[in-house]
Amino acid sequence: MGSLNHVLLVGVLILPCTTFARDVAFDDLLRNPSRYNRQRVSVTGIAEVVGDDFELWRDEHAVKQMDLERDIRVVQDLSLPPYPGTNVSRYSPVNLHWVKITGMVDTTWHGRFGFDRFGLMLDRVQILPGPRLKQFLWDSIWLKNDTRHRLNINVSSKGGGMMSEIVPNEVFYDEIKPARVAHIDLSLDNKPFARFHFVPMFSRRYYDRDKRAYYFRISERKISLVPPGQAKGWKFGPLPWRD
């Protein structure tokens, strides 16, 4: 992600001119959405942007506990183009920042499952001073294919997994829950190529604390953990929700 000023400037340029919005307290809006129905309001909280979902959490405790009683659903315009160079939401850079959201309250919006009491139709988002709350990011893993083969990759752990393809010289990315054991399997022409049983608690000396990341190199029939310094020249794709 670029500088904070760049993010704010983008937010100003892509959004239409707006009229006056009333500042309201998070708890007041959550308790009394009908009081503000069809009104434009501004409310402060911690943003979490994952795919099409945009949450506004009351505070760090609410994020940590995933307390849905302290969560406001922000409704973004999915017809807008994605963040430049990616296929993710243009609002991804605000992920896990304290923000000020301005939008219209709509009590007729009940979410994709019909459980939400209201939605906040997004007009504008302003990142407030302070760093991204990286403690709430999942750990990331990066694997660089230093072979001449186009490989299939399967990363699996308790509760989920990801399957993809990795071409020579490409860097593959995935996220895993902190401290969760993961299995990394590579195959070539439907035959096993290499496997790595990854146990984060035994690999902390390879951990990039700033990026919350681990790095792996794929060689002939082998996957190896490498220290962060050996990954400095790798070509990483943009990750605006965590960079």
**In whole angstroms, what is the distance from residue 179 CA to residue 11 CA?**
35
Nearest to 57 by CA among 41, 73, 75, 42: 73
Residue 161: per-residue pLDDT:
85
Q: Mean pLDDT throughout 205-225?
A: 96
pLDDT digit string, tens, across residues 104-141: 999 999 998 899 999 999 999 999 999 999 999 999 99
Residue 19: per-residue pLDDT:
64
Residue 160: per-residue pLDDT:
79
Whole-model pTM?
A: 0.85
**In whole angstroms, what is the distance from residue 189 CA to residue 99 CA?**
48
Residue identified by tokens 């794709």 is: 237
Max Cα–Cα distance, the chain, nearest Å: 64
**In whole angstroms, what is the distance from residue 159 CA to residue 9 CA?**
39
Count of CB atoms situated within 10 Å of the CB of 165: 11
Dihedral sign, Cα of residue 212, residue 217, residue 223, residue 225: negative
Number of H helices, E strands in the chain: 3, 14
**Residue 45 or 159, more confident:** 45
Residue 32: per-residue pLDDT:
97
The domains of the chain, with CATH numbers, are 4-132 (2.40.50.140), 137-231 (2.60.40.2890)
Residue 12: per-residue pLDDT:
38
Strand partners, 125: 101
pLDDT digit string, tens, across residues 58-74: 999 999 999 999 999 99
Contact 223, 184 (CB under 8 A): yes
Percent of residues, the chain, with pLDDT higher than 90: 82
Sheet of 171-176: strands edge to edge? 171-176, 139-145, 213-219, 222-226
Strand partners, 184: 155, 196
